[in-house]
Structure 1
């Protein structure tokens, strides 16, 4: 939380009685401590920068190399093959009485050892890079050797969504692109990959997160917001407003002390949805959205987060929150009266109220922005629920991936909800790559649609349905592995599209691919990234995950968290303004689809 240090260390005033000079020791103490803490942090950053720069080496390993070189010299063994002598002869003469032959020899050996150490670090890094570039293990079954698989492509992903005429047209556009435009664009991407640490991430961050024009609330970006930029220039560029704004923007994160009370009550189904909406947008005026994250504390002591998307993806903030919950409950603890253990840090300055000057013109802008935000928030329908009949424990008995199981259930639920299939987005992490973020898994496949149609027709026996399901699950799992290992297609097509724009080259194929709406946008929130507690033994300490707004105005946003062996959390969003969607209706279809899939395998399940 930002803290503005408005207190002054001394006051100097001239009165008829004379000069009044007052010195505040408490303020000077805080100024002194702030300076000490600032220098400590600066030194720590310098130290961490050095350690990161020499990784995987360390000062200890450098000392070992130096001692080994010096030790071998005392044993009359020249491990440098004469290089130490060459370095010694190249050292400048006349550096004072301290430059004895012995010190020159030691200095030469230290220089040689440093060179060997740096060279070793370089080769170790390159070897590690080559080692981590191998992703074949993702496709290997236990005890078996993996087979070569065909890289899936865009046309395969849209085949179940297009009729024969539309598919033929896209096929012609794809062939034209492949034969004419693609080779030229690809050369530029190859060139970028030679010098950039990641040829996707910087463009993805700039054009997807930072150049969008939609408001941050419910969406993902905060840059290029015209109204805020104009208000900032007019009302927050000088004086006390500038100082207060700088105090907020320099803070690591923002804390909102909410006057409302929210809590998840398993007996009240609506409680989790209300809790989620409060975290997603609140009352539209007590959140600071253009911040790394906002820590929201409700009146009854419940906590939650609202995270901005540009700087990191959901697993990062989820990792943080798991650590916070685990540390708070199992390491720090509380007294019998409910107070925190430990003692307050006396060096921390007290919180200080920020000073603002808000003229009537600014108040009018605030009111106008509030009405826009309120309309946006009121249009979002968020339905959250905890699916209790089973979790990944039962799913694993079906011998399938839990994620594939849920994704196929989503396809079945969506078809029952809308009567058709749609382009489906699932986010896959690419964190095995340096600066990797996400890749798209196109979950609506020919295999999954074939299974869904067979389920809806109700004319197939369970054995046939199980075979179709296993084919769809195997296809999905393979696509997920391809996406994780850099063999997805959407980020690459995105980069080719950007290169075509830079070059002024028109590509009807890329333009159509990048303009297709994702009417079902999904994401799995990872659970148990750190092993601080067993979720089966402490189910009350599980978080419910998080959610996001729908990507398309007539679509759904679905996030889910497979929280252990016995439960799954779902967050479903849509817009009230769309007559085609209803988040609660879709949630009910998801419930039934999961139960229907479990029934295929006749696995006993608990009651809801």
Structure 2
């Protein structure tokens, strides 16, 4: 790993000695301050999404209304506030009024929590309605119009990215009879009469012997988990697969075909990395709006959590996803060499120009690749059990370099060749563009990272995306 900016200790006869200057101590202080600010911001955002569609101001309004009722000698709590006051410690006569205020605040909080729970249940019931899917184009029935009006009332205002997560309906469990019937319908066209009769017999035996118990397990999981499918889908469709990620799983995204903002490779890389990290900043603050069908029906936003700072780690039997809370660097590959490029200064995210200068230093660097470095990333394109075995050896001899790649916000590949649509031969150029994004040379993409940003020598961009952490619409939204 070739660091762009490194912390260099000095060597003495007694061993290594770190130079702790005032600027180093200031960096430590600012790092801790940023960490605490992130923790507080996440706590506040989690609180706001937890109480949505209500807001903290609604609690203040409720508390003020209770206090006003007490001033008018009314008791909206029907005696509960007095009961709460009796349970509070007796601090003496001079604090009698304080006990009353605390009792009113506790009652307001309990009432507020009950109202929020009611709103969540009501919104979940409303979002379980699917009649709008069957409406003919250009027409809308009265039930759907009523449903839209109620959803508009209960949905609240100014939602954050994860505001609707608690209100989404659970994935319904189909009856096992319907599942078996649809399975037989799906296999009928591809089986002979004899094979279909044999398969139908097995299906009936399954319904008679095992189906009821397995269906009960599935119902139990559906009550316990918000989505009984997602974790099994992630594990058995992706993480347990032992095939190569390249071509079999990973997919790609293209740049604009007819527009290239700049042909300068380093400038395009700097702008793209800066824009992606701005998106990550908005994502961490939940400022990305949730996706709403018809502007009303929210979709699940859970997959947005792992866009950045995520790596698929190979294992002997199955892989696992490693997600970090934060990462302040990107891993860069150019001409067989790996670089660690810092993306932040003590004052925040580096500007596009500052990032461009770092990428230009990499492009201008004439140093050769270290032994075994040039084709190292080809291991991420190997079968997963082979890569898992090789990774264990790599971690023991080059653990810091491996961590710099796997702990990066994302991977950047600075290609030495141009790409994109050409007027002379549009079909062949698009094929070559797609091939470069999907596979490259087999050793210049880190297929385990959540995504690799590919910047070609003529300024064209593309993404190579690992599939297990999310489906294409999530990464497509970020790319747009």
Task: Confirm or deny a common fold (TM above 0.5).
Answer: yes
How far has the Cα of 1:11 moved from its partner?
4.5
Secondary structure at the aligned position of 2:74 is classed as coil
* 1:249 match: 406
How far has the Cα of 1:200 moved from its partner?
1.0
How far has the Cα of 1:27 moved from its partner?
4.7
Evaluate the alpha carbon distance shift between residue 267 and residue 204 of structure 1 in structure 2; reply closer, same or farther with a 3 A threshold: same
For residues 296-375 of structure 1, the aligned pairs below 5 Å read 296-322=454-480
- Does the aligned pair in 2 maintain the 1:3–1:248 contact within 8 Å? no
- Does the aligned pair in 2 maintain the 1:7–1:27 contact within 8 Å? no
For residues 524-539 of structure 1, the aligned pairs below 5 Å read none
Aligned length: 311
* 2:396 match: 237
How far has the Cα of 1:309 moved from its partner?
0.8
Separation in structure 2 between the aligned mates of residue 90 and residue 214 of structure 1, nearest angstrom: 63
Separation in structure 1 between the aligned mates of residue 230 and residue 86 of structure 2, nearest angstrom: 48
1:263 aligns with 2:441: no
Secondary structure at the aligned position of 1:6 is classed as coil
Separation in structure 1 between the aligned mates of residue 37 and residue 406 of structure 2, nearest angstrom: 22
Separation in structure 2 between the aligned mates of residue 110 and residue 144 of structure 1, nearest angstrom: 45
- Does the aligned pair in 2 maintain the 1:262–1:271 contact within 8 Å? yes
Gaps in structure 1 of 5+ consecutive residues: 323-608
Q: 1:114 aligns with which of 105, 109, 114?
A: 109
How far has the Cα of 1:231 moved from its partner?
2.6
- Does the aligned pair in 2 maintain the 1:193–1:199 contact within 8 Å? yes
Separation in structure 1 between the aligned mates of residue 216 and residue 34 of structure 2, nearest angstrom: 50
Secondary structure at the aligned position of 1:122 is classed as helix
1:179 aligns with 2:211: no
* 1:374 match: none
Evaluate the alpha carbon distance shift between residue 21 and residue 176 of structure 1 in structure 2; reply closer, same or farther with a 3 A threshold: closer
How far has the Cα of 1:80 moved from its partner?
0.6
Higher relative contact order (CA 8 A, sep 6+): 2
Secondary structure at the aligned position of 2:454 is classed as strand
Separation in structure 2 between the aligned mates of residue 67 and residue 243 of structure 1, nearest angstrom: 57
How far has the Cα of 1:177 moved from its partner?
2.2
Of the two, which has the highest radius of gyration? 1
Separation in structure 1 between the aligned mates of residue 31 and residue 387 of structure 2, nearest angstrom: 32
Separation in structure 1 between the aligned mates of residue 18 and residue 229 of structure 2, nearest angstrom: 60
Separation in structure 2 between the aligned mates of residue 131 and residue 118 of structure 1, nearest angstrom: 20
1:203-229 Cα shifts (integer Å, max 9, x gaps): 111121111111222223853333333
Separation in structure 2 between the aligned mates of residue 206 and residue 21 of structure 1, nearest angstrom: 44
Separation in structure 2 between the aligned mates of residue 244 and residue 265 of structure 1, nearest angstrom: 38
Q: Please, what TM-score do these two structures have when normalized by structure 1?
A: 0.47
1:449-487 Cα shifts (integer Å, max 9, x gaps): xxxxxxxxxxxxxxxxxxxxxxxxxxxxxxxxxxxxxxx
* 1:92 match: 89
* 1:133 match: 128
* 1:35 match: 32
Gaps in structure 2 of 5+ consecutive residues: 144-176, 251-311, 316-383
Separation in structure 2 between the aligned mates of residue 64 and residue 5 of structure 1, nearest angstrom: 52
1:209-265 Cα shifts (integer Å, max 9, x gaps): 111111222223853333333233223236xx2223223222232111111210122
How far has the Cα of 1:25 moved from its partner?
5.2
Evaluate the alpha carbon distance shift between residue 266 and residue 80 of structure 1 in structure 2; reply closer, same or farther with a 3 A threshold: farther
Evaluate the alpha carbon distance shift between residue 294 and residue 163 of structure 1 in structure 2; reply closer, same or farther with a 3 A threshold: same
1:47 aligns with 2:44: yes
CA RMSD in angstroms comes to: 3.1
How far has the Cα of 1:132 moved from its partner?
1.2
1:218 aligns with 2:247: yes
